[in-house]
Amino acid sequence: MSRIAALYALQQTDSEIDSRLISISQIEVALADNSAVEVARQVTQEADTAFVAARLALRDLEIASEDTERHAAELEKKLYAGQIKGIKEMGLAQHEIATFRQRRKDLDDQGVEAMIALEEAETTKKAAKAILTEAEAEREKVIITLQEDRVRLEGELLELRTEREKRAKAVVPPDLIIYEKLRGQKQGIAVALLQQGKLCGRCRVELPLTKQREAKNNAVIVYCSSCGRILHFKP
């Protein structure tokens, strides 16, 4: 294997390692992201609270209606038992009874609305709960898949690192220094393929003829005149 071919082989393994590392970090982010379930849980809690409030509102109206009716009935009883004397007093009592009854009717009308609101709140609560259950089940599945992927990637990484060691040994030490330095400067890609015998495979710039010839020899390190990467020619 030529010097440059050895560098290119190392580059390929390093790129494979880099892509696994990126995938693993993406998995870590996805594993930490429980937002879908959290949003569904929040919505469920709000729906629960609204349901409880609707039930209390209905109960309050029912109690108020019962109280009003009791007052009216008590007054009516007194009136018919002759406990209220005088025309004026009796008239006032009758007026008061009518007011209580009207009040009760209003409360009962509100009670019908409150009952409808309660049914709606219950429907919303059930729907929110169903969405939460589904989100939790989905999340569990996603977590299992992500964990499996991570295990697979870590296994691949282990093999790739062993391979990297071997490939690094096949590179002469001074070239390895140049390679590592370039990799640090060029987003991890130090070696590019010479394509169609004239183009840098990374930046797509066409090289001067002398460089094309030198690169094709694969004997000395030739750098792309545009992006500065080492060029490798595959005959």
- Asked if 230 is part of the footprint of Zn ion (rule: CB under 5 A), the reply reads no
Contact 2, 230 (CB under 8 A): no
Site mask, Zn ion, residues 198-217, x = CB under 5 A?
A: --x-xx--------------
DSSP conformational letter for 66 = H
- Asked if 194 is part of the footprint of Zn ion (rule: CB under 5 A), the reply reads no
What tokens were used for 84?
């209220």
- Asked if 226 is part of the footprint of Zn ion (rule: CB under 5 A), the reply reads yes
Residue 133 CB, nearest approach to Zn ion (Å) = 54
Contact 232, 218 (CB under 8 A): yes
Site mask, Zn ion, residues 144-183, x = CB under 5 A?
A: ----------------------------------------
Strand-pair category, 230-232 with 199-200: unpaired
Site mask, Zn ion, residues 94-113, x = CB under 5 A?
A: --------------------
Closest by Cα among 173, 231, 187 to 207: 231
Give φ, ψ of 149 to 5 degrees. -60, -40
The site for Zn ion (CB under 5 A) is made up of 200, 202-203, 224, 226-227
